[in-house]
A and B are shown apart, each in its own frame.
Chain A
Amino acid sequence: MKISRFKSGSVTLGAALMCATVLAGPVTAEDMALGPVVGPEINEAKAALGKRLFFDVRLSGDAAISCATCHQPDKAFSDGLALSLAYPGSKGFRNTPTLVNTATAANWFHDGRLGTNLNDVTRESITEDYSMNMDMRLMQERIKQDPVYVEMFEAAGYGEPSNGSVRKAIPEYLNTLISKNAPFDTGSMSEAATRGQALFEGKAGCVSCHNGPRLTDDMAYNTAVPDNPEIWSDPMRHMTYAAFASFMGVENYMNVRRDVGAQIIRHPVDGSDVGKFNTPTLRELKYTAPYMHNGMIATLADVVAFYNNGGGDDVNKDERMKPLGLSDAEQADLVAFLEALSGDPLTGPEYVWEDEIPTNYPAIENWRDVSN
């Protein structure tokens, strides 16, 4: 344990500990230690089933998109866009986050609105009207119509296909998406990256929030990332946000002109959670540009420069966001360290369902004679 790494952020650490304790039990120094991500045990049959489901467009209402439409393997399961796609007829208002290591996260979505488990994340993503807009009862019956699924559910020990088992199988697949061979983990970092790590844990203070194996404390802060104006200039994005805000109970949602972030969770009356977003993981950043919850920063160098300037302007900005006084060389070292946190791309048959998935449904031939 290198406790010294926390010195530069000791005040911060206290605050983080207090907050996190409320949500998820005591955070220990061990939790905060940097190191390889260790994924859960995998059940191969369940994960294989989840993999096929992940790539199957029939899991969306109009069979147009799959999970993989926005979570693309070669982009570390993000999509390369500032603001994500959405279900046809809507347009997204946030950046698609990576799913690598999501199995070990404590909460999900940029506003952290789900703090339970991947079962709930799966349900929300499949059913939410602007994401996949799927009635899971119809999804279940679609899956039951595919003989390949009938076999795979059986082999996975789930019995007959059901929407409940879909919400278990997809998380089992996500459990397999764990960072692999990042130079940071294999001890093969460059000298620049090594110097960057020292800055990360010291002068730059990154570690006060970006800690633990995924380099995130899973807490929400306001770093004053500028709002993405496209959310308000593109009516299809704005309406999608407005529908979301209405559903989330945001007051006066038609007149809101910024992404209120974590405010939707507790709705503090003083608005103090407006503009807070979850600390993102720093793993696999090589594949997941552009950055921030709204894709407003294009490169890692720009992200580091943003922090070096003390972040943006916002009344709720976290007081720890201060100019860092990093030289150009120091900033370059930090970028080198960030890049060393990316591993091998999780592509290939181990991670991608490569066989064709039919989009039609064979008829059950002796339909009248078999039980539904």
Chain B
Amino acid sequence: MRSTLTLMAGVAAVAVSAAMVNAGEMGKYPPLAPLGEPPIPLDNKQSDAKVELGKILFWDPRIGGDASTACVTCHEPDQGWAFGDSLSRGYPGTVHWRNSQSVINTAYLGQLFWAGSAASLEKQAPSAAKGAVAGNGENDVMETRMAFIPEYRVRFKEVFGTEYPLIGDAWAAIAAFERTLIVNDTPVDKYLAGDKSALSEEQVAGMELFNGKAGCIQCHNGAQATDENYYNLGVPPAERWEEDGLAQVTFRYELYAKGVTQEMYRKLKDDPGLYFRTKEADHMGKFRTPPLRYTAYTAPYMHNGSFWDLREVVEFYNAGGGENDFTDGTMAATKSDLIKPLGLTDEEMDQLVAFLEAFSGDELRVDPPELPPYEALASE
């Protein structure tokens, strides 16, 4: 089995001998495209009432363990609907173990979280609300809390027809709200739809690099600018794991909670990414290609927030990525063959950054909802 894998890797290396995408290869990748309207699952249709309910729930810290941590706590609208630190803040008494991702345009994704562990927004929400270093909530408590909020009883009954709110319906409502967090009128969307004045010359040059010399399109393709596939780029391990006791606690907790082998629990010093889900050795260190939309607002970048601005990210790629425990053979050697030095000039890197910024559009802000209070049920 091992020799087959090695052989396959070798073939891939030969096939893509340089990151540069030549004209003949361009057609291999779905082109960048205007985003259009998000897909809506048949089993969770949108309605104004459901979206409004989901919005309130998104802000409500009672949907969590100690009533301190809401969805919005780590997905803050003024921080790109993400969290502006390398590792997300985590539940009180903890720090999270990965960078918080933006909620914007997640409606289009088929795989949520950095290792794609949730296949829908309806599944992502409970996973975040219940994880010990995220929301640390439990279903019974979260569900019964909602029953003591009269406004929720009315709203859930209207939307879902239940006497008392059900926690599964809360996730559906939150997902419906998240499907309204769409930014699909960026300069790039306008340009790709035919408005050639929407991008500056610098940005157009950046797009050409993106599709050509820089080879970004190989993974960041299609309307979402992601192939939703998994790669190891050699992003270095989070510095905080070496410096911060709290982060070390969480790192080991994830190894324990995600059920790696005893040997892996002892040895791993870097986030094995997709391996957590599949337990396949050749998946170590691989993460899902993130979408590039809205990235102007979501610094820092990468699964562990290693880079603080887009220029740093571009420089990282230009250098041919980096090294981590899964590139140097310490634990594995899974670095993608697509990651090679790009030979971009300073000006070209500026052009790429300018293009990425044009992929972000205006910031999406909403007025925070008013949280409805608890009230006694006993008089009923």
The 8 A CB mask of B56-93 against A (1 = contact, 0 = none) is 00000010111110000000000000000000000111
Is A120 at the interface (CB under 8 A from chain B)? no
1/0 contact string of A359-372 vs chain B (CB within 8 Å): 01111100110011
Residue in A64, A129, A244 with the greatest tally of chain B CB atoms within 10 Å: A129
Q: For A137, give its contact among B91, B244, B256, B268 (CB under 8 Å).
A: B256
The answer on a CB contact under 8 Å between B256 and A363 is no
A135 is an interface residue with CB less than 8 A from chain B: yes
CB within 8 Å of B: which A31-89 residues: 58, 60-64, 87-89
| A93 to B39 CA separation, bound complex (whole angstroms) | 46
Interface size range of chain A in the complex: 35 or more
Residues of A within 8 A of B246 (CB): 360-361
Question: B229 at interface (Cβ–Cβ under 8 A)?
Answer: no
Asked if B250 is an interface residue, CB under 8 A from chain A, the answer is yes
Least Cβ–Cβ distance between B256 and chain A, in angstroms: 5
A90 to B249, CA, bound (A): 26
Return the contact of B94 from the options A138, A144, A360 (Cβ within 8 A): A138
Q: Considering the chains assembled together, what is the distance between the CA atoms of A363 and B133 in angstroms?
A: 18
A63 touching B245 in the complex, CB below 8 Å, given contacts A87-B65, A235-B375, A372-B267: no
CB contact under 8 A between A62 and B267, given known A141-B252, A238-B377, A360-B246: no
Distance, CA A64 to CA B253, complexed state (A): 19
Across the interface, which residues of B come within 8 angstroms of A119, CB to CB? none
Q: Determine whether the beta carbon of A361 is less than 8 Å from that of B245.
A: yes
Q: Are A363 and B242 in contact (CB under 8 A)?
A: yes
- Asked if A239 is an interface residue, CB under 8 A from chain B, the answer is yes
Docked pose: A233 CA to B267 CA in angstroms: 53
A286 contacts chain B at the CB level, 8 A cutoff: no
Smallest CB-CB separation from B150: which chain A residue? A235
Interchain CB contact under 8 A, A361 and B252: no
Contacts of A137 in B (CB 8 A): 132, 253, 256-257
Query: Which residues of chain A come closer than 8 Å to B137, judged between CB atoms?
Result: 129
Pairwise interchain contact B91-A254, C-beta atoms closer than 8 A: no
Type the 1/0 row for A178-214, where 1 means its CB is closer than 8 Å to any CB of B.
0000000000000000000000000000000000000
**Closest chain B residue to A368, Cβ basis:** B269
- Are B248 and A145 within 8 A (Cβ)? yes
Q: Is the CB of A235 within 8 A of B148?
A: yes
Does residue A246 face the partner (Cβ distance < 8 Å to B)?
yes
Check: A7 CB closer than 8 A to any chain B CB. no
Contact of A363 with B268 in the complex, beta carbons under 8 Å: no
The distance in angstroms between the C-alpha atoms of A63 and B148, with both chains bound, is 26
Instruction: State which of B102-110, B139-147, B364-372 sits at the interface with chain A.
Output: B139-147
Bound complex: CA A142 to CA B257 (Å): 13
Task: List the B side residues contacting A372 at CB < 8 Å.
Answer: 252, 255, 265-269
At the interface, yes or no: A257 with Cβ under 8 Å from chain B? yes
Q: A135-B257, A140-B256 are in contact. Are A363 and B147 (CB under 8 A)?
A: no
| A218-255 vs B, Cβ < 8 Å mask (1 yes, 0 no) | 00000000000000111110111011101100000010
| B99 touches A (CB below 8 Å) | no
Q: Which of B141, B241, B257 contacts A367 (CB 8 A)?
A: B241
| A residues less than 8 Å from B255 (CB atoms) | 372
Q: Is the CB of B144 within 8 A of A62?
A: no
A90 touches B374 (CB 8 A): no
Bound-complex Cα distance A90 to B136 (A) = 13
Q: Given the complex of chains A and B, what is the CA–CA distance between A166 and B340 in angstroms?
A: 49
Q: Is the Cβ of A141 less than 8 Å from the Cβ of B141?
A: no
What's the nearest-Cβ distance from chain A to residue B266, in Å?
A: 5
Cβ distance B322 to chain A, nearest Cβ, rounded Å: 16
Q: A141-B253, A145-B248, A361-B249 are in contact. Are A133 and B376 (CB under 8 A)?
A: no
A233 and B249 contacting across the interface, CB-CB below 8 Å: no
**Given A135-B136, A363-B244, A367-B241: A63 touches B93 (CB 8 Å cut-off):** yes
A residues 142-171 touching B (CB-CB < 8 Å): 142, 144-145
A52 to chain B, nearest CB (A): 17
When distances are taken between beta carbons in the complex, the residues of chain A under 8 Å from B67 are: 88-89
B243–A363 CB distance below 8 A:
yes
Given contacts A63-B93, A239-B147, A239-B148, whether A135 and B374 have CB atoms under 8 Å apart is: no
Q: How far is the CB of A204 from chain B (nearest CB, A)?
A: 36
Residues on the B chain within 8 Å of A363, using CB = 242-245, 248
Task: Decide: A63 and B266 in contact? CB cutoff 8 A.
Answer: no
Which A residues between 279 and 317 are near B, CB-CB below 8 angstroms?
none
B369 to A: closest C-beta gap in Å: 19
Set of chain B residues within 8 Å of A362, measured between Cβ atoms:
245
CB-based contact B378/A233 at 8 Å: yes
A236 and chain B: residue at smallest CB distance: B374
Q: Which of B92, B136, B144, B250 contacts A243 (CB 8 A)?
A: B144
Q: For residue A163, which residue of chain B has the nearest CB?
A: B256
**A277 within 8 Å of B by Cβ?**
no
A214 to chain B, nearest CB (A): 32
Q: Is the C-beta of B164 less than 8 angstroms from some C-beta in chain A?
A: yes
26 contacts between A and B (CB under 8 A): A61-B93, A62-B65, A64-B93, A89-B141, A90-B141, A130-B141, A138-B94, A138-B132, A138-B250, A140-B253, A141-B256, A144-B252, A232-B376, A234-B376, A235-B374, A235-B376, A239-B148, A254-B163, A360-B246, A363-B244, A364-B245, A364-B248, A367-B242, A367-B269, A372-B265, A372-B267
Interface residues of B (CB under 8 A from A): 62, 64-68, 91-94, 132-133, 136-138, 140-141, 143-145, 147-148, 163-164, 241-246, 248-250, 252-253, 255-257, 265-269, 374-378
What are the nearest 4 A-B pairs in CB distance?
Answer: A361-B245, A63-B93, A89-B67, A135-B132
